[in-house]
Amino acid sequence: MLVARFRERLWVKPLLMCVVSIAAAVGASLADGTGLAHVVPATASVALETLLSIMASSMLVIATFSVGSMVAAYGAASNTATPRSFGLVVADDVSQNALSTFVGAFIFSIVALTGVKNGYFLAAGLFVLFILTAAVFGLVIVTFVRWVDNIARLGRMNSTIEKVEQATADALVRRRNRPTLGGVPVRALPRGVPVHATEVGYVQQIDVARLQTWAVSVDARVVVAALPGAFAFPDRVLAYVSVAAEGDATPELGEVMASFTIGRERRFEDDPRFGLVVLSEIAGRALSPAVNDPGTAVSILGALVRLFAQWCQPAADDDAPACDRIEVPELSVHDMFDDAFTAIARDGAGSIEVALRLQKALQSLATLGGPAMRTAAEDHARRALERATSRMDLPYDLAQVRKAAAFATPALRDD
């Protein structure tokens, strides 16, 4: 999670590139202490100054232009899709690498130009600096070509949907392979001493390994009551702690609370349901009267079917030993369907394109998953049909939806 947070900071990569650029420019002088000057051709300092001056003047302009383009793309992503997708768009590697390269090239040229004008480099150092300058020029050209292709799509609706879908797919795969976050399934009703949250926010991460270490040290068991994505507040129970021996004093619970990371916003990494919510929000905004874009909602339904189909795949073997003292509830398929389809069914009830595609998507999911997914799909199909019945005016359109929903309604199958 810490790595993901740094990826969302635009200053991290440019700062690292600046450090590397300064080190490369200053390090070129190390060649002057070797015998390299006797074997390399002479390099005119005037020519090198000209190259570095061109780079210094152009890189600052390009870096400023890239920042402006990125900010415009971020604004487009927030306005056309949903503000919850902003973090994924900011973490785009191609744009961050481009900005870092341009800023790094600017710093390199300034440092190198200052050294050349002050006679800091001798013959060998000038030659090495010339090679480095040519390499930086080549890197800038390749990066700029790649970035131009990427910036044309950054912040666009399709690109944003792809990023959200990929982030959700990654989170679903991790949770599918570790449905209890490395712990064990809940064996009975939660019992023991409740541990309440001390701040307001969303549970972003649970350090199950840390809980296991603490539970072993005090001979206790912990039942997690708030999964990542749950809204925490001072009266919300995060976990229940029970000691093994009766009559023992309750251990200090500060370590339990510290194992729950609580922040102002939900995160994609350990919260698959958040990705489903964000996709649903994008579809809801597309279906608003101000936008009126049912095609985007249809695309979202396709993404949701792909995600749930991936969720139904067999889990990979997890060789890590289970934290047997930590009981963690698994994700509810019904809750995941609520996150994904409720808003689309509500906002698209009056649109024949969306209502019909929604029924087909739910029908395909009913055949893909197990009993729980089939029950959830049929339940949502019936709800969507009820909404469409109250919103659609054309009898033919409603008949089409009723026909598509027949898989979930026995009475319609018998007609």
pLDDT digits (tens, 9 = 90+) for 334-354: 999 999 999 999 999 999 999
Sorting pLDDT into bands at 50, 70 and 90, what band is 244? confident
Laid out side by side, the sheet with 260-263 consists of 231-232, 201-206, 260-263
Paired sense of beta strands 237-243 and 326-327, if any: unpaired
Which residues neighbour 303 within 8 Å (Cβ) at sequence distance 6 or greater?
161, 165, 279
| pLDDT value at residue 9 | 63
| pLDDT value at residue 7 | 54
| pLDDT value at residue 340 | 95
The candidate with the shortest Cα–Cα distance to 197, out of 161, 168, 234, is: 234
In terms of C-beta density within 10 A (0-12 exposed, 13-18 middle, 19 or more buried), how is residue 81 classed?
A: buried
Mean pLDDT over 20-48 rounds to: 73
Q: What is the residue type of 318?
A: D
The predicted model scores a pTM of 0.80
User: Is residue 243 helix, strand or coil?
Assistant: strand
* Mean pLDDT of the residues in the chain: 85
Mean pLDDT over 53-76 rounds to: 80
Measured between its terminal Cα atoms, the distance across the chain in Å is: 53
Mean pLDDT over 281-302 rounds to: 92
Mean pLDDT over 8-22 rounds to: 71
Which residues neighbour 295 within 8 Å (Cβ) at sequence distance 6 or greater?
286, 353
Instruction: List the helix and strand counts (H, then E) for the chain.
Output: 16, 7
Sorting pLDDT into bands at 50, 70 and 90, what band is 246? low
Sorting pLDDT into bands at 50, 70 and 90, what band is 248? low
